Structure 1
Amino acid sequence: MIDGRYVAIDIGTVTCRMMIADVCAGQIHVLAKEYRITNLGEGVDATHILTSQAMQRVKAALTDFLAIRENFDTPENPVRQTMVVATSAARDAENAAEFYDMLAGLGLQLQVISGEEEAALTFAGATSRFVHQHVMVVDVGGGSTEISIGLAGEKPKFSHSFNVGCRRATERFLLSDPPAPSEIEAARAWMSNEFCDWFRNVQACICQPLDQMIAVAGTATTAVSIREAMREYDSSRVDMACVTLAQLREITTRLQALPLQERQQVVGLDPNRAPVIVAGMLILEEVMHAARQTAFTVSESDILSGIVIRCANAA
Structure 2
Amino acid sequence: MTSTRVAAIDCGTNSIRLLIAELDPSTGAITDLDRRMLIVRLGQDVDRTGRLAPEALERTFAACREYAAVIAEHGIGPERTRFVATSASRDAENSAEFTRGVKEILGVEPEVVTGDDEARLSFAGATKELAGGPFAAPYLVFDLGGGSTEFVLGTDEVQAARSVDIGCVRLTERHFAGTEIPTLGQISAAKADIKAALNQAAEVVPLTEAATLVGLAGTATTVAAMALELPAYDSEAVHHARITLEQVREVTGRLLSSTHDERAAIPVMHPGRVDVIAAGALVLLSIMERTGAAELVVSEHDILDGIAWSTAS
Give the TM-score range, shorter chain.
over 0.9
Kept in 1, the 8 Å contact 2:242–2:296? The answer is: yes
Kindly state the Cα deviation for residue 230 of structure 1 after the two structures are TM-superposed.
3.4
Secondary structure of 2:288's partner?
helix
Listed one character per residue, the Cα deviations across residues 208-246 of structure 1 (whole Å, up to 9, x for unaligned) are x42210111100110122223434321110101111111
Where in structure 2 are the equivalents of 1:126-137 lying within 5 Å? Answer: 126-131=126-131, 133-137=137-141
Give the whole-Å Cα distance in 2 for the aligned partners of 1:191 and 1:253: 17
Give the whole-Å Cα distance in 2 for the aligned partners of 1:168 and 1:58: 18
Where in structure 2 are the equivalents of 1:1-315 lying within 5 Å? Answer: 3-24=3-24, 25=26, 26-73=28-75, 81-106=80-105, 107-131=107-131, 133-151=137-155, 153-154=156-157, 156-175=158-177, 176-196=179-199, 198-199=201-202, 202-203=205-206, 209-313=209-313
Amino acid at match of 2:185: S
Listed one character per residue, the Cα deviations across residues 263-297 of structure 1 (whole Å, up to 9, x for unaligned) are 21122111220111011111111111221112110
Kindly state the Cα deviation for residue 80 of structure 1 after the two structures are TM-superposed.
5.3
TM-score for both structures, normalised by structure 1: 0.92
Kindly state the Cα deviation for residue 79 of structure 1 after the two structures are TM-superposed.
7.8
Kept in 2, the 8 Å contact 1:5–1:80? The answer is: no
Amino acid at match of 1:61: A
Give the whole-Å Cα distance in 2 for the aligned partners of 1:158 and 1:29: 29
Kept in 1, the 8 Å contact 2:39–2:272? The answer is: yes
Give the whole-Å Cα distance in 2 for the aligned partners of 1:301 and 1:88: 19
Kindly state the Cα deviation for residue 193 of structure 1 after the two structures are TM-superposed.
2.2
Kindly state the Cα deviation for residue 201 of structure 1 after the two structures are TM-superposed.
6.4
Kept in 1, the 8 Å contact 2:151–2:205? The answer is: no
Name stretches of at least 5 consecutive residues in structure 2 with no aligned partner. Answer: none
Kindly state the Cα deviation for residue 67 of structure 1 after the two structures are TM-superposed.
1.7
Give the whole-Å Cα distance in 1 for the aligned partners of 2:297 and 2:196: 24
Give the whole-Å Cα distance in 1 for the aligned partners of 2:231 and 2:55: 30
Amino acid at match of 1:126: A
Give the whole-Å Cα distance in 2 for the aligned partners of 1:79 and 1:112: 17
Amino acid at match of 2:13: T
Amino acid at match of 2:234: D
Kept in 2, the 8 Å contact 1:119–1:148? The answer is: yes
Amino acid at match of 1:165: G
Counterparts in 2 of 1:200 and 1:310: CA distance versus 1, 3 Å: closer
Kept in 2, the 8 Å contact 1:137–1:149? The answer is: yes
Give the whole-Å Cα distance in 2 for the aligned partners of 1:283 and 1:121: 21
Kept in 1, the 8 Å contact 2:140–2:154? The answer is: yes
Moved more, 60-69 or 135-144: 60-69
Give the whole-Å Cα distance in 1 for the aligned partners of 2:97 and 2:203: 40
Amino acid at match of 2:74: F
CA RMSD of aligned residues (A): 1.9
Which 4+ runs in 1 deviate beyond 6 A? none
Kept in 1, the 8 Å contact 2:153–2:205? The answer is: no
Counterparts in 2 of 1:22 and 1:59: CA distance versus 1, 3 Å: same
Secondary structure of 1:173's partner?
helix
Counterparts in 2 of 1:230 and 1:59: CA distance versus 1, 3 Å: farther
Secondary structure of 1:105's partner?
helix
Pairs aligned (count): 305
Counterparts in 2 of 1:294 and 1:104: CA distance versus 1, 3 Å: same
Amino acid at match of 1:280: G
Give the whole-Å Cα distance in 1 for the aligned partners of 2:79 and 2:30: 14
Counterparts in 2 of 1:200 and 1:95: CA distance versus 1, 3 Å: closer
State, as a whole percentage, how many aligned pairs show the same letter: 37
Kindly state the Cα deviation for residue 73 of structure 1 after the two structures are TM-superposed.
1.4
Kindly state the Cα deviation for residue 141 of structure 1 after the two structures are TM-superposed.
0.5
Amino acid at match of 2:164: F
Kindly state the Cα deviation for residue 3 of structure 1 after the two structures are TM-superposed.
3.4
Counterparts in 2 of 1:6 and 1:201: CA distance versus 1, 3 Å: closer
